[in-house]
């Protein structure tokens, strides 16, 4: 048995954050039907890739882990018949997830108000940049904009330089994807008590503010601003920083606790540096005493005497928090991640061996499972519509009318 076995989710999203949200639930057993537009429909994201990039993208879609454990239906929701099919899908669904700008689903006739009348037990999750209401609700945006507005971007990087953009990890994936999955689960649990569904309104920006809770509260309580690249957790002090090693690679040192810093100093034969450890004032400002620069230079010189992997093994043996700054090709061969089954391998019917990231939520009694790889767009249209009662003749008629694909 899987934890979410019997939960049916209709996915109506158009970008990876929404797909990751449902992938997490699918890995835990949810039955997911991915509703995709017909090829000629275009939509947000269309035209982002062309030429060789388009070919590469199409190839990766065939093994895209974000779409594993899903079935794909192609529907034209701009047509009356297409909406009727969607309504029939909704009748027996537990969850609908959509990722359009507020108001778009209402114009398509598949908004919460409409669908909740068809199925009052429906959990309807909307993922949008700024939420369903408020002065910014109609603003366009992407991760860089959301983390800017939530205050996260301004904290990341080095002093005197523009902020370092952390890919689209914070607003998109750590923010909306995970909060979306959590909100859906909360809605399902609440329904067990009330018997009714509800709207789950997830804002990418709100989600980043939640990630920022610790920093924002320290600002509210003590006025702290965390200057970029200067304070303790931003690399401003030598005990919490990355260093270049003899082989030109990087290693991360994370000695926030005094005893860890002492372990490091003892391990490298610099007991004289043990007093230069973390204290609470380092949350407020960067190093002032010029001696800190001497300590950093000394530590930098020490790390240049051995390779990254040599330092890792040596310092771990001395109970020092260090990490190898991996490239992606190193991540997928790390023994800890392999032991934790965070890299899985499957047999694809046409592509042979396929590897994908694993399932991070480890359940002892009902563990997650990858039951199927990503579908081709529209691969299950006929199967699913037949399960709704459509005949071959009706399916052919719907194809000719460009209602399904």
* Domain 232-325 top-level CATH class: alpha beta
Per-residue confidence (pLDDT) for residue 57, from 0 to 100: 57
Domain spanning 8-211+340-400 has what CATH number?
A: 3.40.50.10540
Residue-wise pLDDT for 255-283, tens only, equals 999 999 999 999 999 999 999 999 999 98
**Of 251, 239, 247, which is closest to residue 314 (Cα–Cα)?**
251
CB < 8 Å & 24+ apart, contacts of 387-392:
388/85, 388/88, 388/89
Q: Bridge-partner residues for 9, per DSSP? A: 32, 95
Residue 59 predicted with pLDDT over 70? no
**Of 9, 35, 15, which is closest to residue 172 (Cα–Cα)?**
15
Q: Which tokens sit at 30?
A: 């949810």
Domain with CATH 3.30.1540.10 in the chain: 232-325
Q: Bridge-partner residues for 200, per DSSP? A: 125
| Exposed e or buried b per residue across 170-194, where buried means at least 16 C-beta atoms within 10 angstroms of its C-beta | bbbbbbbbbbbbebbbebbeebeee
Residue-wise pLDDT for 347-366, tens only, equals 888 888 999 999 999 999 99
Count the Cβ atoms, other than its own, within 10 Å of residue 382.
15
Mean local confidence (pLDDT), 202-221: 96
Per-residue confidence (pLDDT) for residue 63, from 0 to 100: 86
């Amino acid at each position: 048995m899987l934890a979410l076995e019997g939960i049916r989710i209709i996915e109506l999203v158009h970008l990876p954050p929404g797909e990751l949200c449902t992938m997490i639930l699918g890995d835990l057993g949810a039955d997911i039907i991915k509703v995709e537009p017909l090829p000629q429909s275009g939509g947000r994201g269309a035209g982002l890739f062309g030429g060789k990039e388009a070919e590469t993208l199409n190839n990766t879609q065939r093994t895209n882990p974000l779409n594993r454990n899903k079935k794909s239906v192609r529907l034209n929701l701009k047509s009356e018949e297409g909406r009727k099919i969607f309504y029939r899908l909704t009748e027996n669904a537990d969850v609908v997830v959509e990722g359009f700008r507020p108001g778009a689903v209402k114009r398509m006739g598949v908004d919460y108000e409409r669908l909740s009348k068809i199925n009052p037990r429906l959990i309807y999750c909307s993922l949008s940049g700024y939420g369903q209401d408020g002065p910014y609700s109609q603003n366009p945006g992407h991760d860089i904009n959301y983390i800017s507005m939530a205050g996260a971007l301004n904290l990341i990087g080095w002093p005197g330089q523009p902020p370092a953009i952390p890919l689209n990890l914070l607003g998109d994936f750590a923010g909306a994807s995970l909060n979306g999955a959590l909100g859906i689960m909360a809605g399902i649990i609440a329904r067990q008590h009330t018997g009714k569904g509800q709207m789950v309104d997830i804002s990418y920006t709100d989600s980043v503010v939640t990630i920022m809770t610790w920093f924002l509260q320290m600002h509210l309580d003590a006025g702290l601003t965390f200057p970029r690249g200067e304070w303790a957790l931003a690399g401003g002090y030598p005990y919490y920083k990355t260093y270049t090693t003899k082989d030109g690679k990087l290693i991360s040192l994370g000695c926030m606790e005094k005893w860890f810093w002492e372990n490091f100093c003892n391990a490298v034969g610099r007991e004289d540096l043990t007093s230069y450890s973390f204290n609470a004032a380092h949350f407020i400002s960067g190093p002032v005493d010029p001696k800190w620069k001497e300590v950093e230079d000394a530590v930098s010189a020490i790390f240049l005497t051995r390779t990254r992997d040599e330092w890792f093994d040596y310092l771990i043996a001395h109970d020092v928090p260090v990490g190898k700054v991996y490239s992606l090709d190193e991540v997928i061969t790390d023994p800890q991640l392999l032991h934790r089954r965070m890299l899985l391998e499957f047999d694809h019917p046409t592509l042979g061996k396929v590897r994908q990231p694993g399932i991070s939520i480890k359940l002892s009694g009902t563990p997650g499972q990858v039951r199927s790889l990503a579908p081709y767009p529209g691969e299950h249209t006929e199967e699913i519509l037949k399960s709704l009662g459509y005949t071959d003749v009706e399916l052919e008629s719907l194809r000719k009318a460009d209602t399904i694909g």
